[in-house]
A and B are shown apart, each in its own frame.
Chain A
Amino acid sequence: MIPRDTQKTDPAQTQQPVRDKEPVEVSDSPAEEQQDVSTRSQDGVTAAGHNVVLTDLHAYYGSVHAVRGVNITFPPNEVSAIIGPSGCGKSTMVRCINRMHEEIPGARAEGSVTLDDVDMYGDNVDVTSVRRLVGMVFQKPNPFPTMSIFENVAAGLRLTGTKGVNMRERVHRALRAVGLWEEVKNRLNEPGIGLSGGQQQRLCIARTVAVEPEVILMDEPCSALDPVATLKVEELIDELKERYTIVIVTHNMQQAARVSDTTVFMLDGELIEHSPTDQLFTRPKDERTERYVTGKFG
């Protein structure tokens, strides 16, 4: 375990542009020089969320320039919503935070993403530990079909190689945190796919939470859910922000309005406006934001 104090990366290093990524090697024993940044979350200092700072972030799919020089800070204990028309780069931007973007063949990112003082793209940073620090919830609930409810939640812990924790306790705590405990406590060994869509999505959030990340990214987490399940997940998001930094991509502007503290509007890969949510929806600063939220262009 690396003590917190030694985590400071050389400032010169954080300024380095992110290099093109080769296919990621997920080895069981990370190379000696790779820093396991995720151990930070076990030092007990991490009950509160952390700053995620994107600096001059560019993302490409081959020759397509999907994100064009975004600078933004996602502050701790706040929900930041990203809105914008399809293809504006909002998912891509978010997927750069936990280095999912680079998994796509031909995709690359430039610029910097830091979690507090740690450069997520630093040469000595292990990508598995990045994913442990930055959890992600996807559009469609994706429980592992062959696994029980318990194993689904434990899977995150096992995959990230978290050791020395009480698995039972972590899983139970995560299920309580997402409000699923009462609904599933008597059938933890039944398959996860036997749950309803809304329950499955909360199960997936529990899987993310069990790892005790510092940041949770959500990419359209409710678009496959019915209204009641949606509201439950939204309530959960509100509770989770006490512990985490949350970034949510949503096509549903009313959802952004309901759950987020600040809202980001993106268009054509650029960040157009980042304002407190109530301000963005009552008096947006940028004419383009106004036109988008009022539906003056489709």
Chain B
Amino acid sequence: MQETRHNFREALKRLEVQALGGLDLVTTALDRALEAVGYQDVELAGMVVADDDLIDGRYLEVHQGILSLLALQTPVATDLRIVAALLHVIRCVERMGDQCVNIAKLVPLSGYESPKDKDILDAIERMGQLARSQLSQAQEAFASRNVGLAQDLVRQDSEINRLNREIFRRAVEIGDDVDTREWAMFMILVARCLERIGDNTVDIAEQVVFVVTGLFREFADASHPV
């Protein structure tokens, strides 16, 4: 039996590589945004904001590619599920890019010489590492259609959620100093962005299960916590 639709298959593969490559762009943006937060590097933060155009451009490219593929090739079955999943993936990529921008924009606001709290900074750093590893795990799970690896992301994500709550608690108790409190409030916002990035990687993992099984099931959602 001979395989047909060679060009279509190539185009679909290219589209997947492009979309999953978007996750690399997010990783770069995330690394820089966190470095900017850690070192109060306003210039680096500005680069994160400017370079978001790259991620937005990737979104438009993949989105257009998907529309063309749907219009010209009418994919069905697994092919159709991959196309639908890539639409979700690239949307998540775009959202995560925006979260990195949100983090970067907080850097100049939080002041050059503001007081800092080591517990909160450590927790932010840990959240950043987790978000980074979740990004690459979501990417690998999608590329290899690995359901087990995808489901494992939920476990990791609960750790990010826990740290997010911990930062909030610590910020509430941080004391009377106005500047410290203000800084802590900004860190709550940074933590919130990282928590959202974690959620987006879980969304991508859900798409992996959809591609493989044909069934969509949310691993966890706010109204039905695991």
Contact yes or no, B78 A290, CB < 8 A: yes
* Residue from the list A283, A291, A298 in contact with B81, Cβ < 8 A: A283
Q: Are B77 and A254 in contact (CB under 8 A)?
A: no
Contacts A281-B80, A283-B81, A283-B214 given: A295-B74 contact, CB under 8 Å?
A: no
Q: Tell me if B155 counts as interface (CB < 8 A to partner A).
A: no
Q: In the complex, which of the residues A257, A283, A297 has the most CB atoms of chain B within 10 Å of its own CB atom?
A: A283
A293: chain B residues at CB < 8 Å are 76-77
Q: How far is the CA of A295 from the CA of B11 in the complex (A)?
A: 14
Chain A positions 244-298 with a Cβ under 8 Å from a chain B Cβ: 253-254, 257, 281-284, 289-291, 293-298
Could you say which residues of chain A place their CB within 8 Å of the CB of B5?
Answer: 294-296
* CB closest chain-B residue, reference A285: B214
* Bound CA span A175–B161, Å: 67
Contact of A284 among B2, B77, B213 (CB under 8 A): B77
Cα-based distance from A148 to B117 in the complex (angstroms) = 94
Question: Which of A289, A290, A297 sits near B4, CB closer than 8 Å?
Answer: A297
Within 8 A of A (CB), among B39-83: 74-81
CA distance A297 to B5 in the complex (A): 9
Interface residues of B in 1-41 (CB under 8 A from A): 1-5, 8
**CB-based A-B contact count at 8 angstroms:** 46
A191 to B175, CA, bound (A): 96
Say whether B75 contacts A294, CB under 8 Å.
yes
B 207-218 binary contact with A (CB < 8 Å = 1; else 0): 000000111000
* Chain B 176-197 interface mask (CB, 8 Å, partner A; 1/0): 0000000000000000000000
**B56, chain A: closest CB distance, angstroms:** 30
Q: Which of A257, A283, A289, A298 contacts B2 (CB 8 A)?
A: A298
- For A253, the chain B residues whose CB sits under 8 A away are 76
B78:A294 contact, CB within 8 angstroms:
yes
Residues on B with beta carbons closer than 8 Å to the beta carbon of A289: 77
A residues within 8 A CB of B3? 295-298
Which B residues are in CB contact (< 8 Å) with A295?
Answer: 3-5, 8
Q: Enumerate B63-118 residues with CB–CB distance to A below 8 Å.
A: 74-81
Contacts of B213 in A (CB 8 A): 283
A282 CB → nearest B CB, Å: 6
Complex alpha-carbon distance, A89 and B4, angstroms: 22
Instruction: List residues of chain B with CB within 8 A of the CB of A281.
Output: 76-77, 80
Q: How far is the CB of B214 from chain A (nearest CB, A)?
A: 3
Task: Say whether, besides A282-B214, A283-B214, A294 and B77 are in contact (CB < 8 Å).
Answer: yes
Is A282 in contact with B81, judged by CB distance below 8 angstroms? yes
Question: Within the assembled complex, what's the spacing in Å between the Cα atoms of A283 and B1?
Answer: 22
Would A282 and B4 count as touching, CB distance under 8 A?
no
Tell me how far the C-beta of B86 lies from the nearest C-beta in chain A, rounded to whole angstroms: 15
Task: Give which listed residue, B1, B74, B80, contacts A297 with CB less than 8 A.
Answer: B1
Does B77 lie within 8 Å of A297, measured CB to CB? no
Given contacts A282-B214, A283-B214, contact A297 B2 (CB under 8 A): yes
Q: Which residues of B contact A254 (CB under 8 A)?
A: 74
Distance in angstroms between the alpha carbons of A284 and B76 in the assembled complex: 10
7 A-B pairs within 8 Å (CB atoms) are namely: A281-B76, A281-B77, A282-B214, A283-B215, A295-B3, A295-B4, A296-B3
- B contacts, CB < 8 Å to A: 1-5, 8, 74-81, 213-215
Q: A residues touching B (Cβ–Cβ < 8 Å)?
A: 253-254, 257, 281-284, 289-291, 293-298
A253-B76, A283-B77, A297-B2 known, 10 other contacts, Cβ within 8 Å: A281-B80, A282-B214, A283-B215, A289-B77, A291-B1, A294-B75, A294-B76, A295-B8, A296-B3, A298-B1
